[in-house]
Amino acid sequence: EPEVTQTPSHQVTQMGQEVILRCVPISNHLYFYWYRQILGQKVEFLVSFYNNEISEKSEIFDDQFSVERPDGSNFTLKIRSTKLEDSAMYFCASSEGWAGPGEQFFGPGTRLTVL
Amino acid sequence: QKEVEQNSGPLSVPEGAIASLNCTYSDRGSQSFFWYRQYSGKSPELIMFIYSNGDKEDGRFTAQLNKASQYVSLLIRDSQPSDSATYLCAVFGDTGRRALTFGSGTRLQVQP
């Protein structure tokens, strides 16, 4: 069964460093998303991406964040200068189409630890 | 501010019983409703979705939606210890918006 994959599974970085989290969405899906979950808290939407551009973003997704689809399979989230409060699980998700209920399927996540 | 509210639990049920999980939402424009299961340290796993009033059944799971009351529920029949997890309710907002708004989840414990 097709699935969303993410690398790395765990990333440790120093405050102020740049990190890139990588995702490979399900191959026939057209819509891609990033969510995050701080330990013990809700899953929060960050950004959605369609047709090589951002469709929506939350107030969390400030200028420190960017997304890119550098090739036909990868979807990346970059955090330019990490802060302690960026420590969280980051989930990539994808969905097939815009119409209809639009089920989103989640990858296994990247645990980001900022020291 | 769009909110999705769930009782955090834990909800404890004996093996073989019916588990009933509830969720309320604040945005009357919400279109679609999703139930995800999340094991500790893992990602959300889609169980089922519903977008019409009434019941929708899939195996041991039944989702119920009442848009007038802004209420959605998930019933798990014949609960198994492997069902022990946190169940997340997620809501799609207005038509055209793709961001899911999640509740904080209800922790379910199925006692053998």
Which one of B49, B99, B105 has the shortest CB-CB distance to A58?
A: B99
Per-residue pLDDT of A62-89, as tens digits, reads 999 999 998 888 999 999 999 999 999 9
**Do the Cβ atoms of A43 and B90 come within 8 Å?**
yes
* Alpha carbon distances (Å) from A20 to A10, A81, A106, B27: 12, 11, 18, 34
Q: A95-104, B11-20, B43-52: which range is least confident on average?
A: A95-104
When pLDDT is cut at 50, 70 and 90, the band that residue A14 belongs to is very high
Residue B90: its chain A contacts at CB < 8 A?
Answer: 43
| Residue A1: per-residue pLDDT | 80
| Residue B29: per-residue pLDDT | 84
**Do the Cβ atoms of A103 and B100 come within 8 Å?**
no
DSSP-derived secondary structure for B21-73: EEEEES-TT---EEEEEE-TTS--EEEEEE-SSEEEEETTEEEEEETTTTEEE
When pLDDT is cut at 50, 70 and 90, the band that residue B6 belongs to is very high
| Residue A76: per-residue pLDDT | 97
Is A104 an 8 Å CB contact of chain B?
yes
| Residue B99: per-residue pLDDT | 86
Is A30 an 8 Å CB contact of chain B?
no
Short-list B6, B11, B16, B26, CA closest to B81: B16
**Do the Cβ atoms of A58 and B101 come within 8 Å?**
no
Query: Is B82 a residue whose pLDDT tops 80?
Result: yes
Residue B97: its chain A contacts at CB < 8 A?
Answer: 56
| Residue A2: per-residue pLDDT | 84
